[in-house]
């Protein structure tokens, strides 16, 4: 674990029939999962999470009859979840989140008899519904399916008696929230960013452990039952947050009083237009990412001092007890809670009981929530004060060994509320430095080097062979890496969640970068269509040799794209950084750019329903960047040529070479309203206030997206023959001639929908930042327009035919290369005044 081991996983590990623990998490492993791993009859725990593993899940894993923990999250695993995995009789934890899984959710997973945690967040089960059979998972404690492109109704989960954590947010679920009462053990309900309608059911009342109820950014209507928060009794360490923002809620039924430690968020609802209730409609800080450091006071011990490497034990019953602690980095990988302070005492009891220590020997030095969400903490373990012992200030060597083996051997009992854990580090400093002498293999033990911890000695000879094989592979990889480094860039790139390709793999995929595979060319370099050995079609963006701008753009795009996962963002598959080359590998978008589709004369034009669908998809991608990405991102170069269309005409936002991170809190916790930056972007799309003030905000992206909406409606380019699209449409709208500028190729359309779409687009393009809507408001209005559409239009757009749904298309000719989706054509601020920039007064 966490040893930076690289290379592929040797299939020979499948020969170690006595293997009980296979712990390879937190390394730099690549390649696919060997089928042979499915034939380990005693394997209890397989953890290969947080690597660069690709390929599919082998069906042979269905043979792991004794495996209880299956952790494959944070890789690049693709394909479907094999239904055969439902045959695992002992499985309690299935963690497959943050991969590239597709297909449908197997209903058969409901047949897993002991499953406690099913965590599949941030995958792309496009068009899939949540199987109704999941309501029968009687043992389930946690169900997390966030951002999985799921559709259809929300299932009734009231029959799961001990469900403690439910996250179905950031999907496309529709219909009403089921009326059945969820488990009394539930701590967290997250349903935000869906298409839910109807009212808020009263069954959310009377849930005694509920900490978070998030249903923001839906289309819920009616009244909010105040009994939801009035029925909760909270102690001083608990908080209860209810987020109902950006719905259509009009009233509160019952008392307006909010108990202490309760937060109710209602901004963006009609209710807040008719009331000045600040406690509901004001701005609220989000404490979901609370950070805490130990506040146990040792101020009364300042008259004394501890020796170096010793410190006061803040929880010891002996006043001012100096001792040498063991330092442990620890992470809860799938906790069943959202607010830790309320469970801190329970965690201390759980941990000390598992380690067979006294309660006062544990100090939680600090903790913080990480993306996932996962809970990372640093623990200090203090020895027992024993006056009869001559060595009462340190653990003896056998006790250190026992405690470490409790962590590394996964001997701490499982917890329903805290879920699976992982050991990040076990630091031995001060008097413990020589407790475990370093081995002769460069100070790395065999277990650490191989990433394998075994529960039996019988396979020692085979294990040694496997470890030797890994050592040889590591030395060979290091030799080749040193050789390559002589020719590559000075920057060593290690990025989670994307695959590292060799130069040879890229040359093979593109037929040695043959000109026949070239599909684009821009300032960054040439773009090639490539086919990987598994048949995956990709776009390979190859930096020009010696480009001073190339390395910076390369690093920027990788760092941004590798941590962004959404169905409406173009996915970064991987990268290549060797042989003096830098390449980015993207998913291939067979229908090109939105600009291509609007201007191509030879293709069947887009109808209004599809144009509105493209607007919705693009907006979802931008909304994700602004509100869900961690940290939030301002795109800075939204334009029609940066909105790509896949074989199903799903819109995906591309090209983050100009992106900027959104502002972060300063030392006082205040978040600035903007980022000051050198102006960059594309003429015709640029926010005029940003151009004049150099202050980039989320509303700068809204302006650019508004221009794209006008392109969708008119077919015009932002600047053409001296005319500016925003000005031209504004003039037509003010003159009651707005339908005169509608694209004649669009065919028939519902006029009331088009009129609302034009009004929204022009509102997005207001000169003043504050006059523009937020992305959440843009999404709500677009969904309102979509709901107005005739059902026949939204279900079966005329232009979707076999030609357009083909996965393979002939690459465009060289004459169209400059319009290709993977080509960036940004310019600096000094060259932007080529269109009509409205005059405004800088603030």
- Mean pLDDT over each residue of the chain, to the nearest integer: 78
When pLDDT is cut at 50, 70 and 90, the band that residue 572 belongs to is: confident
Alpha-carbon distance of 491 to 575, in angstroms, equals 13
Is residue 531 domain-shared with residue 635, that is, in the same domain?
no
Mean pLDDT in residue range 232-252? 87
Asked whether the predicted pLDDT for residue 549 surpasses 60, the reply is no
Average pLDDT over residues 542-548: 63
Backbone angles phi, psi at 754, to 5 degrees: -65, -40
Q: Which tens digits make up the pLDDT trace of 481-491?
A: 333 333 444 44
Which residue ranges make up the annotated binding site for ATP? 541
CB 105 within 8 A of CB 82: no
Q: Which two tokens stand for residue 584?
A: 């980015």
C-beta of residue 396 within 8 angstroms of C-beta of residue 312: no
Q: Taking the chain, what is the end-to-end CA distance rounded to the nearest angstrom?
A: 53
In a domain, 238, yes or no: no
298-312, 511-525, 806-820: least confidently modelled range: 806-820
pLDDT average, residue stretch 344-360: 88
CB 36 within 8 A of CB 11: yes
**Residue whose tokens read 């040889």:** 472
Higher pLDDT among residues 328 and 316, named by residue: 328
How far apart CA 557 and CA 657 sit, in angstroms, is: 5
CA dist., res. 26 & res. 51, Å (int): 6
Q: What CATH number has the domain bearing residue 504?
A: 3.30.200.20
With a cut of 70, say whether residue 350 has pLDDT above it: yes
Other Cβ atoms closer than 10 A to 114: 12
> What's the confidence (pLDDT) of residue 290?
52
Residues 605, 634, single domain; the answer is yes
Q: Using CA atoms, how far apart are residues 68 and 94, in angstroms rounded to an integer?
A: 9
Opening angle at CA 633, ends 628 and 638, nearest 5:
110
Per-residue confidence (pLDDT) for residue 611, from 0 to 100: 94
How far apart CA 188 and CA 210 sit, in angstroms, is: 6
Whether residue 88 contacts residue 62, with contact meaning beta carbons closer than 8 Å, is answered with: yes
pLDDT at 763 > cutoff 90:
yes
> Would you place residue 820 in the very low, low, confident or very high pLDDT band (cuts 50, 70, 90)?
very low
Return the minimum-mean-pLDDT range out of 291-300, 428-437, 464-473: 464-473
Looking at residue 576, what is its pLDDT? 87
743: CATH:
1.10.510.10
Which SS3 state, helix, strand or coil, does residue 819 take? helix
Q: How confident is the model at residue 109 (pLDDT cuts 50, 70, 90)?
A: very high
As a whole number of angstroms, the distance between CA 76 and CA 831 comes to: 40
Residue 1 has pLDDT above 60, yes or no: no
Q: What are phi and psi of 332, to 5 degrees?
A: -85, 120
One domain for residues 633 and 566: no
> Looking at 104-108, 327-331, 429-433, 548-552, which range is the least confident one?
548-552
- Within this chain, do residues 630 and 756 fall inside the same structural domain, yes or no? yes
Report the C-alpha gap between 767 and 687 in whole angstroms: 8
H helical segments located in 562-697: 594-599, 608-623, 688-693
Q: Are 410 and 333 in contact (CB under 8 A)?
A: no
Residue 783: domain span: 594-662+676-797
Per-residue b or e along 752-783, where b marks 16 or more CB atoms closer than 10 Å to that residue's CB: ebbebbbebbbbbbbbebeebbbbbbbbbbbb
Q: How many CA atoms lie within 13 A of 817 on its CB side?
A: 18
Residue 429 has pLDDT above 70, yes or no: yes
> What are the two backbone dihedrals, phi and then psi, of residue 242, each rounded to the nearest 5 degrees?
-120, 120
Whether the Cβ atoms of residue 772 and residue 766 lie closer than 8 Å to each other: yes
Instruction: Looking at the structure, tell me whether residues 582 and 599 fall in a common domain.
Output: no
Alpha helix ranges (H) inside 283-409 = 344-355, 397-408
Enter the DSSP assignment of 521.
E
Domain boundary among 587, 621, 641: 587
Position 664 scores a pLDDT of 40
pLDDT at position 553: 61
SS3 helix, strand, coil % of the chain, rounded to 5?
Answer: 30, 20, 50
CA dist 710 → 91, 705, 723, 728 (Å): 52, 9, 14, 10
550 & 687 share domain: no
Cα 464 from Cα 467, distance rounded (Å): 5
Between 320 and 2, residue with greater pLDDT: 320
- More confidently predicted of 274 and 830: 274
Does residue 814 form part of some domain?
no
Residue 255 lies in a domain: no
Could you tell me what percent of the chain has a pLDDT over 70? 76
Domain end marker among 414, 433, 452:
433
Do 420 and 515 share a structural domain?
no
CA distance 590 to 172: 24
What gap in Å lies between CA 665 and CA 462, rounded to an integer? 53
Whether 527 and 571 share a structural domain: yes
The most confident of the ranges 75-89, 399-413, 627-641 is 75-89
Q: Are residues 411 and 504 in the same domain?
A: no
Query: 762: pLDDT confidence band, cut at 50, 70 and 90?
Result: very high
List of residues 6+ apart from 668 with CB closer than 8 A: none
Handedness of CA 793, 795, 801, 807 (dihedral sign): positive
CA distance 537 to 530: 6
**pLDDT of res. 523:** 59
Give the count of domains, the chain.
Answer: 3
Answer whether residue 41 is part of any domain: no
**Shared-domain flag, residues 764 and 618:** yes
Specify the 3-state DSSP secondary structure of 298.
coil
Cα gap 402→398, rounded to integer Å: 6
Report yes or no on 413 lying in a domain: yes
- In a domain? residue 109: no
Q: Which residue has the higher pLDDT, 763 or 673?
A: 763
Q: Range with the lowest mean pLDDT among 299-313, 551-565, 677-691, 806-820?
A: 806-820
In this structure, are residues 568 and 618 in contact, taking their beta carbons and an 8 Å threshold? yes
pLDDT at 473: 41
| Judgement on whether residues 646 and 739 belong to the same structural domain of the protein | yes
Q: What pLDDT sits at residue 584?
A: 84
pLDDT (0 to 100) of residue 112: 95
Pairing of strands 374-381, 362-370: antiparallel
Report the candidate in 104, 66, 102, 109 with the shortest Cα–Cα distance to residue 84: 109
Token look-up 């010696």 returns: 546
The closest alpha carbon to 798, from 834, 747, 734, 729, belongs to 747
Averaged pLDDT for residues 410-437:
82
Does the residue 329 lie in any domain?
yes
Q: Is residue 550 part of a domain?
A: yes
pLDDT band, very low/low/confident/very high, at 814 (cuts 50, 70, 90): very low
From 386, 410, 433, give the residue that closes a domain. Answer: 433
Q: Provide the pLDDT for residue 618.
A: 94
Question: Tokens 């709500």 sit at which residue?
Answer: 780
pLDDT greater than 50 at residue 451: no
Give the pLDDT score at 19.
94
pLDDT (0 to 100) of residue 143: 96
Which of the pair, 747 or 85, is modelled with greater confidence?
85
- pLDDT over threshold 60, residue 138: yes
* Contact present, 123 and 114 (Cβ < 8 Å): no
Eight-class DSSP state of 539 = E
Residues 653 and 765 both lie in one domain? yes
CATH number at residue 396: 3.30.70
Q: What is the predicted pLDDT for the residue at 175?
A: 95
CA torsion sign, 505 to 509 to 514 to 520? negative
Radius of gyration of the chain (CA): 29
pLDDT greater than 90 at residue 6 = no
pLDDT tens across 596-626, in order? 888 765 467 889 999 999 999 999 999 988 8
Phi-psi region of 620 (alpha: psi -120 to 50; beta: other; left: phi over 0): alpha
**Mind giving me the DSSP string for 651-692?**
EEE---TT-EEPP---TTSPPPS-EE---EE-TTTS-HHHHH
Rama region for 622: left / alpha / beta (φ>0; ψ in -120 to 50; rest): alpha
**Residues, the chain:** 843
* Calpha distance 26→329 (Å, rounded): 14
247 or 234: which carries more pLDDT confidence? 247
788 SS3 class = helix
- Give the DSSP H/E element, type plus range, for residue 330: strand 326-332
What are the E-state strand segments in 385-433? 421-427
Catalytic residues: 637
CB–CB of 704/759 below 8 Å? no
582: which strand partners? 577
Reading the block at residue 474, the tokens are: 């590591």
Question: In a 3-state reduction of DSSP, which class is residue 504?
Answer: helix
pLDDT score at 341:
86
Whether the per-residue pLDDT at 652 is higher than 80: the answer is: yes
Segment 442-446 mean pLDDT = 35
pLDDT at 140: 95
For 439, the token pair is 């081995």
Give per-residue pLDDT as tens, 180-214.
889 999 999 999 999 999 999 988 988 988 999 99
């Amino acid at each position: 674990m966490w040893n930076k081991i690289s290379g592929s996983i040797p299939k020979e590990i499948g020969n170690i029939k006595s293997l009980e623990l296979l712990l390879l998490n937190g390394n730099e492993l690549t390649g696919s999962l060997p089928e042979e791993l499915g034939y380990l009859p005693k394997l209890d725990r397989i953890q290969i999470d947080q690597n660069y593993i690709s390929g599919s899940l082998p069906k042979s894993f269905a043979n792991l009859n004794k495996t209880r923990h299956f952790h494959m999250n944070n890789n690049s695993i693709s394909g479907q979840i094999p239904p055969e995995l439902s045959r695992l009789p002992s499985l309690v934890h299935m963690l497959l989140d943050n991969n590239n899984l597709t297909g449908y959710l197997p209903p058969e997973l409901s047949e897993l008899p002991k499953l406690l945690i099913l965590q599949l967040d941030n995958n792309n089960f496009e068009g899939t519904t949540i199987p109704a059979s999941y309501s029968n998972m009687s043992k389930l404690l946690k169900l997390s399916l966030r951002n999985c492109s799921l559709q259809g109704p929300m299932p009734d989960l009231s029959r799961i008696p001990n469900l403690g954590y439910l996250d179905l947010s950031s999907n496309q679920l529709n219909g009403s929230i089921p009326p059945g009462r969820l488990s009394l053990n539930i701590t967290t309900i997250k349903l935000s960013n869906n298409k839910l309608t109807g009212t808020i059911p009263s069954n959310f009342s009377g849930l005694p452990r509920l900490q978070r109820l998030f249903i923001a950014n839906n289309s819920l209507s009616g009244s909010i039952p105040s009994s939801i928060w009035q029925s909760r009794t909270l102690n001083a360490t608990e908080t209860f947050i209810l987020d109902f923002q950006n719905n259509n809620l009009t009233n509160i039924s019952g008392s307006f009083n909010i108990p202490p430690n309760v937060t109710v968020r209602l901004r963006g609802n009609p209710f807040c237009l008719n009331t000045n209730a600040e406690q509901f409609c004001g701005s609220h800080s989000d404490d979901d990412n609370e950070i805490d450091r130990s506040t146990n006071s040792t101020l009364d011990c300042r008259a004394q001092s501890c020796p170096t490497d010793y410190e006061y034990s803040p929880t010891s019953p002996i006043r001012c007890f100096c001792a040498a602690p063991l330092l442990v980095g620890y992470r809860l990988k799938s906790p069943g809670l959202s607010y830790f302070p309320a469970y801190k005492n329970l965690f201390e009891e759980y941990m000390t009981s598992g380690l067979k220590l006294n309660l006062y020997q544990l100090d939680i030095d600090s903790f913080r929530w990480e993306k996932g969400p996962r809970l990372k903490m640093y623990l200090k373990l203090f020895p027992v004060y024993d006056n009869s012992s001559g060595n009462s200030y340190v653990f003896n060597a056998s006790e250190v060994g026992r405690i470490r083996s409790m962590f590394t051997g996964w001997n701490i009992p499982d917890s329903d509320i805290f879920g699976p854990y992982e050991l990040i580090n076990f630091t031995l400093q001060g008097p413990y430095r020589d407790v475990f002498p370093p081995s002769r293999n460069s100070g790395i033990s065999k277990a650490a080097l191989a990433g394998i911890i075994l529960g039996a000695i019988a396979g020692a000879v085979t294990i040694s062979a496997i470890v030797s094989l890994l050592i040889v592979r590591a030395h060979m990889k290091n030799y080749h890496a040193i050789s390559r480094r002589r020719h590559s860039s000075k920057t060593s790139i290690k990025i989670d969640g994307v695959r590292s390709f060799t130069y040879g793999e890229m040359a093979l995929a593109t037929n040695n970068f043959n000109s026949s595979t070239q599909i684009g060319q821009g300032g960054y370099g040439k773009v090639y269509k490539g086919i990987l050995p598994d048949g995956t079609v990709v776009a390979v963006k190859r930096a020009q040799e010696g480009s001073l701008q190339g390395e910076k753009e390369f690093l920027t795009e990788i760092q941004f794209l590798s941590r962004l996962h959404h169905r409406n963002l173009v996915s970064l598959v991987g990268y290549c950084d060797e042989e003096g080359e830098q390449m980015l590998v993207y998913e291939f978008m067979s229908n090109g750019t939105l600009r291509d589709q609007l201007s191509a004369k030879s293709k069947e034009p887009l109808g209004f329903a599809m144009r509105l669908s493209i607007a919705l998809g693009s907006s979802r991608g931008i909304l994700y960047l602004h509100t869900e990405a961690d940290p939030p991102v301002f795109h800075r170069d939204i334009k029609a040529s940066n909105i790509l269309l896949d074989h199903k005409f799903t819109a995906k936002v591309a090209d983050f070479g100009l992106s900027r991170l959104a502002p972060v809190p300063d030392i006082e916790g205040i978040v600035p309203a903007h980022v000051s930056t050198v102006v960059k972007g594309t003429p015709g799309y640029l926010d005029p206030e940003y151009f004049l003030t150099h202050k980039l905000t989320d509303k700068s992206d809204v302006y650019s997206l508004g221009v794209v909406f006008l392109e969708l409606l008119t077919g015009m380019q932002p600047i053409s023959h001296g005319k500016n699209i925003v000005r031209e449409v504004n003039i037509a709208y003010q003159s009651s001639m707005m339908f005169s500028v509608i694209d004649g190729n669009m065919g028939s359309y519902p006029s009331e929908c088009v009129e609302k779409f034009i009004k929204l687009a022009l509102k997005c393009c207001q000169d003043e930042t504050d006059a523009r809507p937020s992305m959440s408001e843009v999404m709500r209005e677009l969904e309102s327009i979509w709901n107005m559409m005739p059902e026949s239009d939204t279900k079966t757009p005329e232009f979707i035919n076999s030609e357009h749904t083909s996965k393979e298309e002939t690459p465009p000719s060289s004459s169209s290369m400059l319009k290709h989706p993977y080509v960036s054509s940004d310019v600096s601020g000094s060259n932007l005044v080529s269109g009509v920039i409205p005059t405004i007064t800088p603030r």
